[in-house]
């Protein structure tokens, strides 16, 4: 193998730059030419290629976002788009490709790998952590720490005002962010799409929480919760308790910022492992980490199979809200 490409796609996540850096530097150490593909799969279709060397990725490990930029590319989902992508990759002389992104990116990577014109290894990176085959995705740790920082600050003011606070966090249709942030932030309740939200019970919990003498009640709401977002849920509770409340939707701050040490290390390990795998002739796998060990999962499984939430953590929510 002489020449490989690297792209970031879908939602950006802190740590993507550290992964690109690892791909480039590990590739160079193997004597490969590295081509950066700008704006995800759009860059393949528009032949937006840039040669990368060790200096191109200097001073990037600590930066959020992605130096290659990212995009959502609908054309890639079509037969015609896939055909064009394969053609352009071949014309550019790319024998291998590392994709960095979430489950949509992994679906695109699966199609490219199955077409067989180029060898593909993927690296999981999304703040949502909703990818099967890895305990953690790159960006998740930074996102939960950013959310936690905000929640700690809100707790100070919530305690002074003695009002329930409903804090909405990201995570799309899954509750990984909400669960970890809720446990780490000492939330009284955590509402996630995986567990049905019962407004009656929630209202009772909040009422009892103040009756027990607690000075604040923090409810973490996953954006994909079945009962609606924080705004709708807070209003439904108000209809029952008539208790003044506050809402905070954390939104895109969770996507930004400098990656944590954990995300940088994970990104460095997985980026390098992806290149090593290509050099060994592997294709059609995602490299993740399970129980601290590198793990290769067939690309199709990463989005066909469902990653489960940590059941122990779920059980702890009620016990620890005291
Ligand atoms: P995040 O979870 O952070 O949003 P993601 O990788 O899941 O990241 P998506 O927007 O779902 O983000 O997907 C990224 C891109 O992957 C899409 O814009 C599209 O180009 C490609 N993609 C998604 N689904 C498919 C599919 N079924 N076939 C081919 N390509 C796809």
Q: Same domain for 171 and 280?
A: no
Is residue 25 situated within a structural domain? yes
Alpha helices for the chain (secondary structure H)? 16-29, 40-45, 79-91, 103-115, 140-161, 176-184, 199-211, 230-241, 261-279, 299-304, 311-320
CATH number at residue 107: 3.40.50.450
Å from CA of 44 to ligand 1 middle: 14
CATH number at residue 215: 3.40.50.460
**Residue 148: domain span:** 141-255
Task: Domain count for the chain, please give it.
Answer: 2
Å from CA of 123 to ligand 1 middle: 14
What is the C-alpha separation between 143 and 105, in angstroms, rounded? 19
* Coil/strand/helix, residue 59: coil
Q: What is the mean pLDDT of residues 144-152?
A: 96
- pLDDT grade for 242, boundaries at 50, 70 and 90: very high
pLDDT at position 95: 98
Q: What is the mean pLDDT of residues 41-55?
A: 98
Does position 190 have pLDDT exceeding 90, yes or no?
Answer: yes
Q: Ligand 1: which residues within 6 Å by Cβ?
A: 9-11, 40-41, 72-73, 76-77, 101-105, 107-108, 111, 126, 128
Q: Same domain for 48 and 97?
A: yes
Q: Kindly report the pTM of this predicted structure.
A: 0.96
Last residue of a domain, one of 255, 277, 292: 255
Is residue 318 situated within a structural domain? no
Is residue 112 situated within a structural domain? yes
Is residue 314 situated within a structural domain? no
CB atoms within 10 A of CB 17: 27
Q: Same domain for 294 and 213?
A: no
Structure tokens, 295: 């793990």
Is residue 321 situated within a structural domain? no
Q: Same domain for 86 and 117?
A: yes
What is the C-alpha separation between 27 and 12, in angstroms, rounded? 23
* Protein residue with least CA distance to atom 10, ligand 1: 10
Q: Same domain for 116 and 263?
A: yes
Q: Same domain for 16 and 135?
A: yes
Task: Give the mean pLDDT of the chain.
Answer: 96
Å from CA of 299 to ligand 1 middle: 13
pLDDT at position 156: 84
Does position 159 have pLDDT exceeding 90, yes or no?
Answer: no
The pLDDT tens digits of the residues spanning 84-104 come to 999 999 999 999 999 999 999
């Amino acid at each position: 193998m002489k020449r490989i490409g690297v792209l970031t796609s879908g939602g950006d996540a802190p740590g993507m730059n550290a992964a690109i850096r690892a791909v480039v530097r590990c590739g160079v150490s193997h004597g490969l030419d590295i081509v950066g593909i700008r704006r995800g799969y759009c860059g393949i279709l528009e032949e937006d290629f840039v040669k990368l060397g060790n200096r191109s990725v200097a001073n990037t490990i600590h930066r959020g976002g992605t130096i290659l930029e990212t995009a959502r590319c609908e054309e890639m989902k079509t037969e015609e788009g896939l055909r064009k992508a394969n053609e352009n990759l071949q014309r550019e002389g790319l024998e291998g490709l590392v994709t960095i992104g979430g489950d949509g990116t992994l679906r695109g990577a699966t199609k490219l790998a199955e077409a067989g014109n180029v060898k593909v290894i993927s690296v999981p990176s999304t703040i949502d952590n909703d990818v099967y085959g890895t305990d953690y995705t790159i960006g998740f740790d930074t996102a939960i720490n950013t959310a936690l920082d905000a929640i700690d600050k809100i707790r100070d003011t919530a305690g002074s005002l003695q009002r329930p606070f409903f804090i909405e966090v990201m995570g799309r249709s899954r509750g990984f962010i909400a669960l970890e942030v809720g446990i780490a932030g000492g939330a009284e309740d955590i509402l996630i799409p995986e567990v049905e939200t019962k407004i009656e019970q929630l209202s009772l919990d909040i009422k009892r929480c103040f009756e027990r003498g607690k000075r604040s009640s923090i409810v973490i709401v996953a954006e994909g919760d079945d009962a609606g977002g924080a705004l709708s849920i807070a209003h439904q509770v108000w209809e029952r308790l008539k208790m003044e409340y506050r809402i905070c939707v954390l939104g895109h701050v969770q996507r930004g910022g400098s990656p944590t040490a954990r995300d940088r290390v994970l990104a460095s390990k997985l980026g390098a492992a992806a290149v090593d795998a290509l050099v060994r002739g592997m294709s059609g796998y995602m490299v993740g980490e399970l129980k601290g060990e590198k793990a290769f999962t067939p690309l199709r499984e990463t989005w066909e199979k469902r990653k489960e939430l940590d059941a122990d953590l779920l059980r702890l929510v009620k016990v620890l809200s005291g």
